[in-house]
Amino acid sequence: MQHTQSYINANKEVFLEELLALLRIPSVSADPAYADDVRKTAQFVADKLQDAGADKVQLFETAGYPIVYGEKMVDASLPTILIYGHYDVQPPDPVELWDSPPFEPIIKKTKLHPDGAIFARGACDDKGQAYMHVKAFQAMMDKGELPCNVKFMIEGEEEVGSENLGIFCKEKAEMLACDVVLLSDTSVIANDIPSITVGLRGLSYVEVEVVGPNKDLHSGVYGGAVGNPVNILCEMIASLKDENNKISIPGFYDDVVIVNEADRAKMNEAPFSLEQYKESLSVDSVHGEKGYTVLEQTSIRPTLDVNGIWGGYIGEGAKTVLPSKANAKISMRLVPNQDPDTITALFQSHFESIAPESVKVTVTPHHGGMPAVTPTDTLEYKAAAMAMKQTYGKDPIPQRGGGSIPIVALFEEVFGVKSVLLGFGLNSDDIHSPNEHYGLFNYYRGIETIPYFYQYYTDLKTGKIS
């Protein structure tokens, strides 16, 4: 991989310029106003894949946004790596909280990124990380060092649930056949503490509506007698957790896999400073489930959070009104073996049951996703660990992540293969938030590490090394 590494080193500036161009296209999948740009982004990625040397590059149309496909089959007897990534991004809102426009990438130094970081929506999640794979592939191709077969599948609907990708995977299972899936859409602990993500949480997402009187009312004339949907929604939500921050929906924890004390102790050996954590968020205290550390609360324990809540008058000044309805969006992060459909059903029946007779409640389920865990005693984990050791000079720490990538569970179900979550972002990179950024160090380190994964995986799989 020496020539590949020199090629990467010699092309750092171009690799950066190309990523900046990709980040300038606002591929927000959630908002139909960006539809043309989302498609433009797919075409951009396809063109770059083609330039890098992939064969059969194609945009596969779906009921939503296209899936970018490309492959390089060097020898059927060699292993095949399927690269997954997503070119869609989260909405940039609230735009006014960005220090620079979200789709005009700029490079600035930060405390954690002294070499500079690219500030733009999607810089880390996931354009920057997905594009590392295209460039790593290009380098191996150019230098004739591609050690195995590779297939690319880059989708445009991850941030809205990957529903069409699920259908695509089932339909094209033969075309997508592979030995392992490799993706970079997660984080490392720190730039000097490499880690590999070995778990993802699942997701159940619902929207609730509480309706009271048939119209907005004068809060003096009617207030005191008529149930206020905003008050009631708040009371209902407040009752979903007890004084220990444990979720009080009956049956919610029934299927949760309890991690044993030895494994918990090991997880908590990972470097983590509660003081720094609080300081970075400007909070005086954390507020998680009693009896668990922050690392545990954000990985092996489920959660329930209001993502948005609205109702009544929110304009300038004071308007005395008793609103007719109130709404909230609520997410529940799930852990093995919780099933999103089961949890959604439990939430729905519980939420309806706690509604007072003065209001009507509707619960509308949104997309969900299964949790996933990957073992560390596998050949694919070993290859990833060896690759990181090579570039970071240290063994990576296996760590479960708190976020969700629902398609990972489906890869296992449909292709029967494990995924390697070789992410290079930092948790502090503000993904989904204003001022999302991705370190230049992280971008280049990712491009450098990926070829080693190819090499070690192929060598381990073919028995060349053990």
Binding site residues, ligand BES, CB under 6 A: 125-126, 158-159, 161, 185-187, 200, 203, 367, 369, 401, 403-406
Instruction: Using alpha carbons, select from 408, 437, 433, 412 the residue that is nearest to residue 424.
Output: 437
**Nearest-approach distance from CB 166 to ligand BES, in angstroms:** 12
Q: Give one word for 373, left, alpha or beta, with left for phi > 0 and alpha for psi -120 to 50.
A: beta
Tell me the number of residues near Mn ion by CB under 5 A.
3
**Residue 258 burial (C-beta neighbours within 10 Å; 0-12, 13-18, 19+):** exposed
Chosen from ligand BES, Mn ion, none, partner binding at 404 (C-beta under 5 to 8 Å by type):
ligand BES
Which of the choices Mn ion, ligand BES, none does residue 401 contact, using the CB cut-off of 5 to 8 A by kind?
ligand BES
Nearest residue (CB) to ligand BES, 71 versus 429: 429
The rounded distance, in Å, linking the Cα atoms of 174 and 151 is 12
Residue in this structure with the two tokens 């056949």, named with its chain if needed: 177
Q: Could you give the CA distance from residue 37 to residue 53 in angstroms, rounded to a whole number?
A: 25
Looking at beta carbons only, is 15 or 438 nearer to Mn ion?
Answer: 438
For residue 28, the minimal CB distance to ligand BES (Å) is 13
Question: How far is the C-alpha of 124 from the C-alpha of 424, rounded, in Å?
Answer: 9
Residue nearer to Mn ion on the CB measure, 88 or 179: 88
Which of 92, 403 has the CB closer to ligand BES? 403
In whole angstroms, the minimum distance from the beta carbon of 113 to ligand BES comes to 17
Which CB, 340 or 451, lies closer to ligand BES?
A: 340
For ligand BES, the closer of residues 124 and 387 by Cβ is 124
Smallest distance, Å, CB 126 to ligand BES? Answer: 6
Q: How far apart, in whole angstroms, are the C-alpha atoms of residue 323 and residue 216?
A: 5
In 26-167, beta strands by DSSP E: 55-60, 67-72, 80-86, 106-108, 117-119, 149-155
Binding of residue 430 to Mn ion (CB under 5 A): no
Listed in sequence order, the residues at least 6 apart from 311 whose beta carbon sits closer than 8 Å to its beta carbon are 210, 229, 230, 233, 323, 325, 326, 327
Among 18, 71, 88, 125, binds Mn ion (CB under 5 A): 125
Tell me how far apart the alpha carbons of residues 101 and 305 are, in angstroms, rounded to a whole number: 28
Q: Per CB under 5 A, which region of 29-37, 65-73, 184-192, 411-419 contacts Mn ion?
A: 184-192
Neighbours of 286 (CB within 10 A): 13
Which among 127, 4, 13, 138 has a CA at the least distance from the CA of 68? 127
Rounded least distance, CB 207 to ligand BES, Å: 14
Per-residue tokens: 237: 């939500």
Whose tokens are 């296992």? That residue is 412
From 183-191, 195-203, 255-263, 386-394, give the range in contact with Mn ion by CB under 5 A.
183-191
* Least separation in angstroms between CB 2 and ligand BES: 32
Binding segment toward Mn ion, per CB under 5 A, in 125-133, 163-171, 224-232, 269-277? 125-133
Residue number closest to ligand BES, CB atom: 403
Smallest distance, ligand BES to C-beta of residue 273, A: 19
HSE of 463, CA atoms in CB hemisphere, 13 A:
1
Instruction: Tell me if 126 contacts Mn ion by CB under 5 A.
Output: yes
Residues 72 and 57: their CA atoms lie apart, in Å, by 10
Q: Least distance from C-beta 318 to ligand BES, angstroms?
A: 36
Which one, 236 or 370, has the nearer CB to ligand BES? Answer: 370
How many other β-carbons are positioned within 10 Å of the β-carbon of residue 308? 10
Q: From the list Mn ion, ligand BES, none, pick the one residue 161 interacts with, judged by a Cβ distance below 5 to 8 Å according to partner type.
A: ligand BES
The answer to the question of residue 155 lying near Mn ion (CB under 5 A) is: no
Judged by beta carbon distances under 5 to 8 A according to partner kind, the member of Mn ion, ligand BES, none in contact with residue 446 is: none
Q: Does 185 bind Mn ion (CB under 5 A)?
A: yes
CB of 368 to ligand BES, least distance (A): 8
HSE, side-chain direction, 13 A CA sphere, residue 5:
9
322's tokens? 């008793």
Q: Is residue 88 a contact residue for Mn ion (CB under 5 A)?
A: no
Q: CA–CA distance from 228 to each of 232, 311, 357, 373 (Å)?
A: 6, 10, 12, 43
CB 88, min distance to Mn ion, A: 9
Residues 6+ apart with CB under 8 A from 175: 69, 151
CB of 165 to ligand BES, least distance (A): 11
**Burial class (CB within 10 angstroms; exposed 0-12, middle 13-18, buried 19+) of 261:** exposed
**Of the two residues 69 and 84, which places its CB atom closer to Mn ion in the complex?**
84
Comparing CB distances to ligand BES, the nearer of 82 and 322 is 82
Q: Which is nearer to ligand BES, 80 or 299 (CB)?
A: 299
Q: Which is nearer to ligand BES, 71 or 125 (CB)?
A: 125
Per CB under 5 A, residues contacting Mn ion are 125-126, 185
